[in-house]
């Protein structure tokens, strides 16, 4: 009993410790079970009417009428559409309305029961009145536990008058029943408080989880380095602005920015200086544009800005301001970092109404700005579509390229640093077209992904790679890159298994490489695909590690056996302590997670020596071996075998 009294005292202050959204949910729970409220009101009104009709008592008839009127009002209130209260005043108004009806109704039921006990001697009639009030009181603990002060008041108003009515006659059995009702009230108070505690805890946890999810969602749309919107957030807001763009009058300018010679700053002053430049530029752009505009970093040294404009002249004025903002030097570690920016501009709706079209046109304009000497702004013009014409021709030529035998494979060895031997070879796809000659993979692979030929090309690469690797020593594996299309294909495990069975290559000798940007497009689907591959005993590698937005946080989710350190870190090993620290961190992290590490892009002896000091597992690069045909790989491996036996 002491504990119950203490909890009742604490209840008086509970509302001051909960937030408005939590209170709104608790108030909303009062209306969560409208069906039980309606049934209870109809049942109680019917029983009260039966009692009044049976006794022919005017007072009981008046009480039954009052119960019916209040019950009807409560039913109407419960069935009325209502929005979730979004502030303290709205929640208070909703709660006050419910409390008024609930207390009036429970008070009338209790009073009606009291009058029945004192004005009628019919035991059946008394039983009807008492059970109706007690049944109502029992249901309150569950339905109204979200606002326990209302529930407890109803409980007392409906039950205690019955005890008073039973005590008046001083009949032994009625005295016992009165005591039982009092004990019932005490028990129901305890049940109500326990239910409230559980409901409050669940509501608080739900709101905390929702707040955490909202925080993570906001973080996922924010660029970690600069604090401005990232590519995901930019795309969402871009498409939303285009949908809201009116049919006439207002225009939306898309500025695609690329910092000029950013790599030179990285190479000269290190990555920390490059990061400072990116953060400084982002800060200036964010401060210059108001909330009607969108400023985002798309990755690397690329930024994008959306700004409403009235005409092309206003767009040009804004572009000139951007050029001036970026040209201003940024101080870092005693140095004055100077850069310029090239800008491509596309304007909606005259240059397109779809996000992809406008991005493509702004990219064409940016390409022209860079070609023209950098540090300039160019608007999209239809003549820039010459680049698109080449893309269209390559698109056409890709269909049938496999049948014409225009693809061939090269292999770049990967060396085990400790054993000084070839550990694996990465497959590199090359295309020599009948009309365009040698076409870079950087150019044709995105086209193949768009037109759907990448699936067949990827299958061919996989089959050929497994067939070539079959003749290599058993301790040498083959590494094949997967495109986003291949990774998302549901039949990928079947294709891989077929390639292994056809060639006879053991699955543990096949290593499939995936870039992080591919994974982040659809995390859940990527995890499922990688787990399916691992079940085949095929090994998987995270390629270009360290270049994405959230590399470290995703490592625990993706089932990789190998990390490939991006060449951008390896390039700066000779002159950048920051790159050395990053590479060392990745190597140590890989060791802790049970993953091997491979450094790509090794071109100097100094880089190789530094990688030895970091205890990196394997290396790949022009210093050790350039990409070569399969026959040269076989000869190299044969030479290693002779040295080992000799």
* SS3 assignment, position 615: coil
Q: Which residues is 253 bridged to in the sheet?
A: 307, 347
Q: Which residues contact 86 (CB under 8 A, 6 or more apart)?
A: 24
Instruction: In whole angstroms, give the CA distance from residue 556 to residue 433.
Output: 42
pLDDT of residue 627: 95
- How much of the chain exceeds pLDDT 90, in percent? 37
Of residues 183, 172, 184, the one with CA closest to residue 134: 184
Q: How far is CA 331 from CA 279, 281, 323, in A?
A: 12, 12, 18
Is the dihedral angle over the CA atoms 118, 122, 127, 132 positive or is it negative? negative
Of residues 450, 331, 350, the one with CA closest to residue 398: 450
Residue 23 — very low, low, confident or very high, per pLDDT cuts 50/70/90? low
Q: Which residues contact 381 (CB under 8 A, 6 or more apart)?
A: 365
Mean pLDDT lowest among 69-73, 142-146, 175-179, 488-492: 142-146
| Structure confidence by residue, pLDDT tens digits, 163-190 | 777 778 677 777 777 777 777 766 676 6
Average pLDDT value for residue range 445-467: 92
| Structure confidence by residue, pLDDT tens digits, 112-132 | 778 877 877 787 887 787 777
Average pLDDT value for residue range 325-329: 91
| Structure confidence by residue, pLDDT tens digits, 609-645 | 999 999 999 999 999 999 999 999 999 998 876 665 5
| Structure confidence by residue, pLDDT tens digits, 587-601 | 998 899 899 999 999
Average pLDDT value for residue range 59-69: 82
Instruction: In whole angstroms, give the CA distance from residue 92 to residue 85.
Output: 9
Residue 277 backbone dihedrals phi, psi, to 5 degrees: -65, -45
* SS3 assignment, position 409: strand
pLDDT of residue 145: 57
Residue 83 — very low, low, confident or very high, per pLDDT cuts 50/70/90? low
Kindly report the average pLDDT of the chain as a whole number: 82
Is the dihedral angle over the CA atoms 115, 118, 124, 130 positive or is it negative? positive
Q: Record the tokens describing residue 463, joined without a space.
A: 């089959």
| Structure confidence by residue, pLDDT tens digits, 354-373 | 999 999 899 889 878 886 77
Q: Which residues contact 571 (CB under 8 A, 6 or more apart)?
A: 267, 579, 601, 603, 607
Pairing between β-strand 510-515 and β-strand 539-545 as defined by DSSP bridges = parallel
Taking each continuous run of H as one helix and of E as one strand, the counts in the chain are: 25, 16
More confident: 87 or 401: 401
Residue 213 — very low, low, confident or very high, per pLDDT cuts 50/70/90? low
pTM of the complete model: 0.47
Residue 565 backbone dihedrals phi, psi, to 5 degrees: -75, 130
Instruction: In whole angstroms, give the CA distance from residue 286 to residue 291.
Output: 9
More confident: 69 or 441: 441
Q: Which residues contact 501 (CB under 8 A, 6 or more apart)?
A: none
Residue 550 — very low, low, confident or very high, per pLDDT cuts 50/70/90? very low
pLDDT of residue 261: 79
pLDDT of residue 226: 87
Using the CB atoms, write b or e for 135-145: b if 16+ within 10 Å. Answer: ebbbbbbebbb
Residue 210 burial (CB count, 10 A): 11
| 122, 174 contact by CB (below 8 A) | no
Q: How far is CA 465 from CA 409, 420, 469, 494, in A?
A: 8, 23, 6, 16
- How much of the chain exceeds pLDDT 70, in percent? 80
């Amino acid at each position: 009993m002491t504990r119950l009294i203490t909890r009742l005292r604490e209840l008086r202050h509970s509302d001051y410790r909960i937030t408005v959204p939590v209170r709104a949910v608790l108030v909303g729970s009062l209306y969560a079970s409208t069906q039980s409220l309606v049934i209870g009101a109809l049942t109680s009104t019917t029983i009260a009417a039966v009692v009044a009709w049976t006794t022919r008592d005017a007072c009981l008839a008046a009480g039954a009428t009052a119960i019916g009127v209040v019950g009807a009002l409560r039913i109407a209130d419960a069935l009325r559409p209502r929005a979730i209260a979004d502030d303290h005043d709205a929640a208070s108004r909703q709660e006050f309305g419910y409390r008024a009806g609930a207390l009036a109704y429970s008070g009338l039921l209790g009073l009606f029961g009291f009058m029945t006990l004192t004005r009628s001697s019919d035991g059946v009639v008394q039983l009807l009145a008492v059970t109706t009030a007690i049944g109502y009181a029992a249901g309150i603990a569950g339905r109204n536990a979200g606002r326990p002060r209302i529930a407890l008041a109803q409980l007392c108003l409906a039950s205690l008058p019955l005890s008073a009515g039973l005590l008046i006659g001083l009949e032994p059995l009625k005295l016992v029943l009165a005591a039982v009702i009092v004990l019932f009230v005490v028990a129901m108070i305890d049940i109500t408080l326990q239910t409230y505690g559980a409901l409050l805890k669940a509501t608080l946890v739900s709101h905390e989880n929702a707040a955490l999810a909202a925080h993570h969602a906001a973080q996922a749309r924010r660029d970690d380095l600069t604090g401005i919107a990232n590519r995901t957030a930019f795309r969402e807001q871009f498409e939303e602005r285009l949908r809201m763009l009116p049919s006439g009058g207002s225009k939306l300018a898309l500025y695609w920015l690329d910092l000029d010679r950013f790599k030179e700053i990285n190479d000269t002053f290190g990555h920390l200086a490059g990061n400072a430049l990116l953060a400084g530029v982002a800060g200036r752009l964010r401060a210059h544009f108001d909330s009607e505009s969108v400023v985002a970093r798309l990755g690397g040294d690329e930024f994008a800005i959306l700004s409403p404009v009235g005409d092309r002249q206003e767009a040009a004025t804004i572009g000139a301001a951007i050029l001036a903002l970026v040209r201003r030097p940024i101080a870092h570690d005693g140095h004055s970092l100077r850069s310029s920016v090239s800008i491509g501009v596309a304007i909606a709706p005259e240059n397109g109404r779809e996000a992809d079209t406008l991005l493509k046109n702004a990219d064409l304009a940016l390409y022209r700005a860079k070609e023209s000497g950098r540090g300039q702004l160019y608007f999209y013009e239809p003549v820039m579509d010459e680049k698109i014409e080449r893309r269209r021709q390559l698109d056409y030529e890709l269909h049938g390229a496999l049948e014409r035998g225009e693809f061939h494979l090269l292999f770049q060895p990967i060396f085990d640093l400790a054993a000084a031997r070839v550990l694996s070879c990465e497959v590199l796809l090359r295309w020599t077209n009948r009309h365009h000659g040698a076409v870079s993979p950087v150019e044709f692979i995105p086209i193949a992904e768009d037109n759907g030929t990448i699936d067949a090309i990827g299958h061919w690469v996989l089959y050929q790679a497994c067939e070539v690797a079959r003749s290599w020593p058993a301790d040498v594996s083959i590494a094949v890159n997967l495109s986003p299309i291949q990774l998302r294909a549901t039949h990928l495990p079947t294709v891989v298994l077929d390639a292994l069975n056809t060639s006879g290559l053991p699955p543990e000798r096949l290593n499939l490489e995936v870039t992080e940007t591919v994974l982040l497009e659809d995390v859940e689907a990527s995890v499922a695909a990688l787990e399916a591959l691992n079940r085949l005993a095929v090994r998987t590698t995270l390629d270009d590690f360290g270049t994405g937005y959230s590399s470290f946080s995703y490592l625990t989710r993706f089932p990789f056996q190998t990390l490939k350190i991006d060449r951008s870190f390896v390039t700066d090993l000779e002159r950048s302590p920051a790159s050395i620290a990053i590479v060392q961190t990745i190597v140590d992290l890989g060791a802790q997670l049970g993953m091997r590490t491979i450094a790509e892009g090794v071109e100097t002896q100094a880089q190789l020596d530094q990688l030895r000091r970091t205890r990196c597992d394997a290396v790949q690069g022009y210093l050790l071996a350039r990409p070569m045909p399969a026959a040269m790989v076989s000869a190299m491996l044969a030479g290693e075998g002779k040295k080992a036996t000799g």
